[in-house]
């Protein structure tokens, strides 16, 4: 089955509203977004954001995400430590949710985006179907990745009881928020249209 | 295609977004370097136990200011101690001096109240006690408890020896007339079975402790019912609860020289004891007697030429083991005596004990022996005397099981006493009553004779008054001759007269001896029961006055 992309048909898709315009139209007549057939340096930008995310991911996991001060006793917890604690306290559901949201999801997102970048750049004729599935997966899991930052934010706001119990956000919370933000930017700067550019050359050698 | 021309700009090949990961990298590198540059030195502290210490959580504090944190806890290779690796903050590096001390601060309830309460919730922490010396030490040995002297705290440390601790505890107060001047810092059991407590007296008060001071247990209270009413005594409420010691100088003793660090004192049971028995250190000697020790009691004095130098501690066959008793044909009676070193050597200390021992060795070689002597004839109370007997051979101090044995001598006192007894018996048997009756009878008969003579004289006078008598001279002559014959019976040569004189002499001698006894009874009625009163007990300090 022969499939034409919009570009091949002489049109530009608006990435905001999805309207097809003629290739020489500069601004989308519907939503006034600047139109470009393919975003310039999309892959490079994505890669840069992903590198930042990877750099931030290390402190996000190794530094404490929050400090608990309870009766002048001082605990610090990393994300992994917190998950283990929750698991040991038999809060399995919360442990799984935090584990998925804080560790699995960012890694999946980063790995998929990296794979997409490499795949689009060097293996454009291969894995076109998988690329579509993977891209949609990042869309699905991406929205859960902020849950950890929210957990910390809520706990910090709730437990400010002076000497009895106080929760203070740790440096990892900031780094983790950075990871989430940069993966969002990475996903955003990835021009999804690049995925299907060689849809008709599937499996063929070029 | 569109007619309009695309505007072509040359763009750099690299996206500007790459600045962000580079910035992130630089920031993280900077943070990591800063972390390693900023962290202070690592020190290792060896502790007996890591109780309450957690890696990454336990803090090191100086005066409650955090100066470091425990990073790692590991077992020492000998498995008998733990090594704590701690990271000290860079601004606290100058606290790490040669004499800096570390100890674990835990909640503790003492007489001063509750300390370290905050550690109940926060867990133990390691306290850093600043010390003197050059900076830069990294290996320390930690204490389980707060050390005796921390930093610049000044004072004097003395040891208190006692047989039983009663109720002493570490941290218990040391009181001087009810005022807290120090505390018990450490308790340990010596190999001899004695308990040794270390007491630290804080600086302004260390001058109160002198060589003549006596320490006594101040815990508890005394309660007496006297004719005046109830008498309740207690040092302080806190010592009542937690135990404690107090010290004072015995009555009538001048404070001696200032005490030296580490001097040893004996801990008395109660305040009254320090006046009762002011000497602290005694040497024990075992005496083996062949004779009866009847009349010798525990507590009886040991005298040297009449001066009390100690007391009898125990009289029991159990003092020596059965094996030794089996070896003896006739079992000897063991008597344990205590000799006060302060009285004989003038040095009431452990050193004095040694000196007394040395001196006794030479004394015994010169003929000193212990003997049993009667203190009172009537009650039969006995004392132990130490004296020199030049006639005996040179003896020596021997060792019997755990005791040092002083040689004894059987005194000839017993024989003297038996002689005195015989004399008293004889005195009792003297026929005093008969003699007096005889004398009375003799006097009566003499009186009768004189009456008869008077009667004769009277009848002669009557006769003379008669005319017939005057007229008859021959009759008168006869009568005179009769009278002369009668009177000649009363002359000094006559046997009646002689026996009268003898009887009177005997009565006189007897009455004189009776008078002596009665005089003695008049002046000291107690002498019939007790021996002569002793001199008052010697007290220490007297010899120091002489110095």
Tell whether B272 and B161 lie within a shared domain. yes
CA distance B364 to B372: 17
pLDDT-above-70 percentage for chain A: 92
- Tracing tokens 């004296």 back to the chain, one arrives at B387
3-state secondary structure B115-142: ECCHHHHHCCEEEEECCCCCECCCEEEC
For B18-75, what is each residue's pLDDT tens digit?
888 889 889 889 988 988 888 888 899 998 888 888 887 788 888 888 898 898 899 9
- Domain final residue, candidates B259, B276, B293: B276
Q: Report whether pLDDT(B111) > 60.
A: no
The pLDDT of residue B30: 92
Q: How many CB pairs under 8 A join A and B?
A: 51
The pLDDT of residue B444: 92
- Tracing tokens 């009874």 back to the chain, one arrives at B521
Tell whether B136 and B177 lie within a shared domain. no
- Residues in CB range of B513: below 8 A, 6 or more apart: B427
Contacts of B11 in chain A (CB under 8 A): 40-41
Find which of B7, B9, B21 to mutate to test the A interface (most A CBs within 10 Å of its CB).
B21
Cβ neighbours, 10 Å, residue B172: 27
**Looking at CA atoms only, how far is residue A73 from chain B in angstroms?**
4
Tell whether B365 and B466 lie within a shared domain. no
The pLDDT of residue B539: 63
**B545, B256 contact by CB (below 8 A):** no
**Looking at CA atoms only, how far is residue B4 from chain A in angstroms?**
8
Tell whether B393 and B490 lie within a shared domain. no
For chain B, give the mean pLDDT. Answer: 79
Tell whether B339 and B458 lie within a shared domain. no
Tell whether B272 and B286 lie within a shared domain. no
Is residue B547 a part of any domain in this protein? no
Q: Which residues pair with A90 in a beta bridge?
A: none
Contacts of B1 in chain A (CB under 8 A): 10, 23-24
Looking at B145-149, B246-250, B324-328, B453-457, which range is the least confident one? B145-149
- Domain final residue, candidates B393, B417, B441: B417
Q: Which ipTM value was assigned to this complex?
A: 0.75
- Please, which pLDDT band fits residue A199 given cuts at 50, 70 and 90? low
The pLDDT of residue B26: 92
For B352-396, what is each residue's pLDDT tens digit?
888 888 888 888 888 888 888 877 777 778 888 888 887 777 777
Q: Report whether pLDDT(A131) > 70.
A: yes
Contacts of A24 in chain B (CB under 8 A): 1-2, 4
Tell whether B287 and B390 lie within a shared domain. yes
- The verdict on B24 touching A (C-beta cutoff 8 Å) is yes
Q: Report whether pLDDT(B318) > 60.
A: yes
Q: Do strands B382-388 and B301-304 pair parallel, antiparallel, or not at all (unpaired)?
A: parallel
Tell whether B379 and B449 lie within a shared domain. no
The pLDDT of residue B533: 57
Q: What are phi and psi of B451, to 5 degrees?
A: -60, -45
- Domain final residue, candidates B417, B441, B459: B417
Q: Which of B1, B17, B57 sits opposite A48 (nearest CB)?
A: B17
| A195 secondary structure, DSSP code | G
Is residue B61 a part of any domain in this protein? yes
pLDDT-above-70 percentage for chain B: 84
Tell whether B408 and B489 lie within a shared domain. no
- Please, which pLDDT band fits residue B469 given cuts at 50, 70 and 90? low
Tell whether B108 and B123 lie within a shared domain. yes
The pLDDT of residue B148: 57
For B394-443, what is each residue's pLDDT tens digit?
777 888 777 888 888 876 565 566 567 778 888 887 777 888 888 899 99
Tell whether B59 and B122 lie within a shared domain. yes
- The verdict on A182 touching B (C-beta cutoff 8 Å) is yes
Number of domains observed in the structure of chain B:
4
**B369, B386 contact by CB (below 8 A):** yes
Tell whether B410 and B484 lie within a shared domain. no
Q: Which two three-digit tokens encode residue B166?
A: 């009663």
Per-residue pLDDT averaged across A193-198, rounded?
Answer: 77
Per-residue pLDDT averaged across B132-160, rounded?
Answer: 78
Q: Report whether pLDDT(B545) > 50.
A: no
For chain A, give the mean pLDDT. Answer: 82
Find which of A7, A22, A48, A190 to mutate to test the B interface (most B CBs within 10 Å of its CB).
A48
Contacts of B118 in chain A (CB under 8 A): 72
Select from B97, B118, B187, B115 the least CA-distant residue to B148. B187
Q: Report whether pLDDT(B198) > 70.
A: yes
**Looking at CA atoms only, how far is residue B176 from chain A in angstroms?**
39
**A43, A117 contact by CB (below 8 A):** yes
**Segment 66-125 of chain A within 8 Å of chain B by CB:** 71-75
Q: Report whether pLDDT(B246) > 70.
A: yes
In chain A, where the domains are located = 1-37, 40-201
| A102 secondary structure, DSSP code | I
Domain holding B209, by residue range, is 155-276
Is residue B542 a part of any domain in this protein? no
The pLDDT of residue A206: 42
- The verdict on B34 touching A (C-beta cutoff 8 Å) is no
For A4-50, what is each residue's pLDDT tens digit?
777 777 888 888 888 888 888 888 888 888 888 777 788 888 888 99
- Please, which pLDDT band fits residue B78 given cuts at 50, 70 and 90? confident
Q: Which of B4, B11, B122 sits opposite A72 (nearest CB)?
A: B122
- Please, which pLDDT band fits residue A200 given cuts at 50, 70 and 90? low
The pLDDT of residue B447: 92
The pLDDT of residue B20: 86
For B96-106, what is each residue's pLDDT tens digit?
888 888 888 87
Q: Which of A23, A58, A71 sits opposite B122 (nearest CB)?
A: A71
| Dihedral sign of CA atoms A37, A40, A41, A46 in order | negative
- Residues in CB range of A9: below 8 A, 6 or more apart: none
């Amino acid at each position: 089955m022969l499939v034409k992309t919009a570009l091949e048909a002489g049109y530009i898709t608006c990435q905001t509203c999805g309207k097809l315009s003629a290739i020489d139209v500069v601004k989308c007549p519907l939503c006034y977004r600047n139109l470009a057939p393919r975003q310039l340096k999309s892959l490079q930008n994505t890669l840069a954001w992903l590198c930042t995310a990877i750099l931030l991911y290390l402190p996000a996991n190794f530094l404490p995400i929050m400090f608990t001060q309870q009766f002048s006793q001082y605990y610090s917890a990393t994300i992994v430590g917190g998950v283990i604690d929750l698991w040991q306290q038999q809060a399995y559901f919360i442990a799984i949710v935090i584990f998925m949201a804080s560790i699995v999801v960012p890694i999946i997102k980063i790995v998929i985006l990296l794979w997409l970048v490499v795949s689009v750049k060097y293996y454009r004729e291969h894995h076109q179907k998988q690329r579509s599935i993977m891209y949609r997966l990042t869309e699905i899991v991406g929205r859960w990745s902020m849950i950890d930052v929210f957990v910390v934010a809520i706990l910090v706001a709730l437990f400010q009881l002076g000497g009895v119990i106080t929760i203070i956000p740790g440096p990892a919370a900031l780094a983790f928020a950075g990871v989430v933000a940069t993966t969002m930017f990475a996903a955003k700067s990835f021009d999804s249209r690049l995925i299907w550019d060689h849809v008709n050359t599937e499996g063929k050698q070029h | 295609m569109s007619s309009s021309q695309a505007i072509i700009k040359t763009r750099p090949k690299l996206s500007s977004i790459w600045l962000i990961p580079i910035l992130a990298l630089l920031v993280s590198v900077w943070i990591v370097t800063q972390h390693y540059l900023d962290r202070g030195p690592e020190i290792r502290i060896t502790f007996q136990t890591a109780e309450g210490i957690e890696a990454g959580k336990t803090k090191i504090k100086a005066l409650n200011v955090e100066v470091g944190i425990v990073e790692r806890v590991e077992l020492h290779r000998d498995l008998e101690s733990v090594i704590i690796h701690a990271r000290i903050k860079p601004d606290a590096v100058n606290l790490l001096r040669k004499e800096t001390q570390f100890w674990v601060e835990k909640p503790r309830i003492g007489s001063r109240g509750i300390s370290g309460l905050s550690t109940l919730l926060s867990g133990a922490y390691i306290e850093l006690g600043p010390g003197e010396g050059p900076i830069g030490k990294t290996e320390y040995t930690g204490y389980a408890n707060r050390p005796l002297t921390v930093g610049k705290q000044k004072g004097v440390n003395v040891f208190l020896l006692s047989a039983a601790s009663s109720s002493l505890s570490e941290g218990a107060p040391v009181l001087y007339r009810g005022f807290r001047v120090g505390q018990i810092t450490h308790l340990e059991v010596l190999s001899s079975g004695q308990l040794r407590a270390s007491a630290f007296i804080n600086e302004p008060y260390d001058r109160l402790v002198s060589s003549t001071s006596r320490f006594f247990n101040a815990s508890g209270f005394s309660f007496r019912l006297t004719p005046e009413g109830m008498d309740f005594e207690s040092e302080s409420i806190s010592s009542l609860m937690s135990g404690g010691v107090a010290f004072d100088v015995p009555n009538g003793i001048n404070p001696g020289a200032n005490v030296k660090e580490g001097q040893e004192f004996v801990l008395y049971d109660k305040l009254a004891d320090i006046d009762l028995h002011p000497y602290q250190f005694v040497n024990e000697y075992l005496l083996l007697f062949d004779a009866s020790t009847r009349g010798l009691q525990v507590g009886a004095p040991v005298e040297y030429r009449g001066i009390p130098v100690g007391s009898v501690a125990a009289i029991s066959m159990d003092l020596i083991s059965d094996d030794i008793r089996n070896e003896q044909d006739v079992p000897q009676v063991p008597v344990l005596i205590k000799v006060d070193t302060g009285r004989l050597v003038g040095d009431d200390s452990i050193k004095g004990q040694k000196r007394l021992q040395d001196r006794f060795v030479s004394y015994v070689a010169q003929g000193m022996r212990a003997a049993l002597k009667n203190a009172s004839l009537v009650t039969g109370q006995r004392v132990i005397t130490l004296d020199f007997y030049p006639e005996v051979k040179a003896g020596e101090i021997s060792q019997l099981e755990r005791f040092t044995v002083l040689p004894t001598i059987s005194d000839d006192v017993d024989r003297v006493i038996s002689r005195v007894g015989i004399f008293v018996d004889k005195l009792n048997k003297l026929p005093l009553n008969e003699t007096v009756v005889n004398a009375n009878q003799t006097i009566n008969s003499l009186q009768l004779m004189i009456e008869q003579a008077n009667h004769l004289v009277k009848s002669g006078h009557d006769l003379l008054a008669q005319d017939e008598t005057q007229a008859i001279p021959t009759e008168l002559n006869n009568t005179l001759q009769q009278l002369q014959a009668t009177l000649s019976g009363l002359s000094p040569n006559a046997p009646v007269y002689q026996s009268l004189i003898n009887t009177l002499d005997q009565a006189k001698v007897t009455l004189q001896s009776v008078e002596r006894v009665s005089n003695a009874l008049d002046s000291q009625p107690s002498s019939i029961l007790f021996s002569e009163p002793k001199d008052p007990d010697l007290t220490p300090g007297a010899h120091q006055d002489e110095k």
